[in-house]
Structures are given as C-alpha cells and as structure tokens.
Structure 1
Amino acid sequence: MEKIDIISKLPYSKPFLFVDKIIKIDENGVEGEYTFDADLDFYKGHFKDNPVTPGVILIEVMAQIGLVCLGVFLLNEKVNKNTLMALTSTEIEFLKPVFPNEKVTVHSRKIYFRFGKLKCKVSMQNEKKEIVCSGTISGMVI
C-alpha cells in the first residue's frame, strides 16, 4: 500500500486531518509529520496572546499518525468507507509545548495488533529532535 493511499483512506478531512506526510511505515510501526498552521481556530483562545497547542490536539496527532495510519496499513484491503477506528485508551506524558507553525514528527512502534485492537508506543518530536510528548495509545477497529 502506498503512503499517499493510506492518507486518502483516513476518516478525517481538513481542518481535522493532522497528517501531512508518512515518512516510513511497515508492519511494526510508522513515522509521520504534521505542521501546525498558525491559523487553526484553537490557537485563538489557547492561550490569549501566547498560543500553545492543546494537549488533546497533540494526542489526536499522535493517534492519527501513530495508530490510525498504522491500522490502515495493517488492515490494507479490509479498510473501506464503513471501517471505523475508535480510540480506546491513552497514557501520555507531556514534556514541552508545541507552538503555531511548528512541525512535529511522530514515531510509533506496534506493541500488539490482535482481535481488532492495536496498541502502540508513540512519541512526538519537534524540529530540534526534542521529545515533546510520549506514551501509549490504543484503539480498535469497529
């Protein structure tokens, strides 16, 4: 499966698509990028005069790249318009803020994929290669 095909099969669209590029992907993990556009609505109020990317959005980026993209790759031809992927659990530690116009890279390693449930160890780095957040994310195919 081509990397661009994976992105096209994601169940998201702008402004809630948080995957710009898949750098590499195989049955054990994925690496991808996203750049936070300064015009995204959540920056208007989080925080006044000093915008920071909300943690829930950082989790969403990690889930879209590190879990859903990998799930689409692993399921391959079984993914269609009726396939739903639901987030079931997260345990994330936040270490540094992410600001508007920052590009982040998400690294994900599969822990397991069985019975329709995928669990991954995921980390996000900024352009300085500093880890901004990391942890585990799980989801399942419905």
Structure 2
Amino acid sequence: MITVTDLIPHRPPFLFVDEIVSHTAEGLVARRTWRAEEDFYRGHYPGAPITPGVLLCESVLQAAACFMALKARAAGAAPGEGVPLIAKIGDVRFRTPVYPGDIVTIEVKQKDALGGFTMMAGAMKKADGTRVMSLEFSVAWKTPEAR
C-alpha cells in the first residue's frame, strides 16, 4: 500500500492528507481527520476553533499532489523525481466550516492537460456528505532547485 508520505514531500505539521482512499487515471479520493491538538486551532479562533480556509485549500492541493505523483510514477518517473507546483487557483467556494474532530473526504479530478499544466477540480465533503468547499486549479510538474 502506498502512503501519502511515499508520494509527496510534505510532512507534519504541514501534512493535511491522512490517507488515499482510491485513485484512477482521472482522479483521486483522500481522507483527513482535523485533530483538536493541531496548533493552528489555538489562534483560529480561540474558544471557537474553525479550520482556516487556506488549510482546507492546501489539503485539496496535497491530494492533487498525490494524484500527480501517482500519475508520474505510472508514466515511468522515479519516486521523488519532480514535485507538483500550484500555478493557479480559482473559483474557490466555501460552504460550511470544518471543526476539530471533523473527518473529510477530498476528491480531485483532472479536467485537462495542456502545455505542461494540468487543470484540475477539487472538492471536500464531511463524513455525513455535507459539502465543505470546492475549487479549480492548475498544476505544473517541476524539479525544484535545491536550496
């Protein structure tokens, strides 16, 4: 079984995908439990914690990174050969807050590929099926410079 950390370089405390549920050539489904002990809840918002929208977006983008890594491996790339870099984010829509303890399902789908960019759509739902958010974005597969 391939784990998230086998596919992408993200590590705690900046890893927001727990597991890959399924994947196909067109997309991927992942899961995440938002844990009350995560440090960002101390400041967003004290006494009434809500998961920051930017971290919800990051969770979707990390699921897409997993998809892109699986796709690259299927095309013959060696593990760790390149990383997906976000090129564009648009049409982000938040529908309901995510609280500590919520379990969400993240779905990403490839829409198109053109000129080295992969256009994708992502969505997040709570375990009960409540829609959390959706967004559209573009990703480029690159080899980052070592620093």
TM-score (norm 2): 0.87
What CA deviation, in whole Å up to 9, does each residue of 1:67-104 have, x standing for no partner? 10110111113144351221111121001000011110
What fraction of aligned residue pairs are identical, expressed as a percent? Answer: 27
Distance 2:117 2:66 in 1: 14
Distance 1:61 1:81 in 2: 20
Number of residue equivalences: 139
Distance 1:103 1:79 in 2: 32
Moved over 2 A (4+): 79-82, 113-116
Partner of 1:70: 67
Q: Which amino acid aligns with 1:50?
A: A
Tell me the SS of whatever aligns to 1:49.
coil
Tell me the SS of whatever aligns to 2:86.
strand
**Structure 1: runs of 5 or more not aligned:** none
- Between 78-87 and 95-104, the greater mean CA deviation after superposition: 78-87
Distance 2:106 2:138 in 1: 15
Distance 1:57 1:105 in 2: 14
Q: Is the CA contact (8 Å cut-off) linking 1:7 and 1:69 kept in structure 2?
A: no
Q: CA RMSD in A?
A: 1.5
Partner of 1:98: 98
Equivalent position to 1:48, from 46, 49, 52: 46
Tell me the SS of whatever aligns to 2:59.
helix
Q: Which amino acid aligns with 1:58?
A: L
Q: Which amino acid aligns with 1:119?
A: M
TM-score (norm 1): 0.90
Q: Is the CA contact (8 Å cut-off) linking 2:49 and 2:100 kept in structure 1?
A: yes
Distance 2:103 2:84 in 1: 25
**Structure 2: runs of 5 or more not aligned:** 143-147
Distance 1:60 1:79 in 2: 25
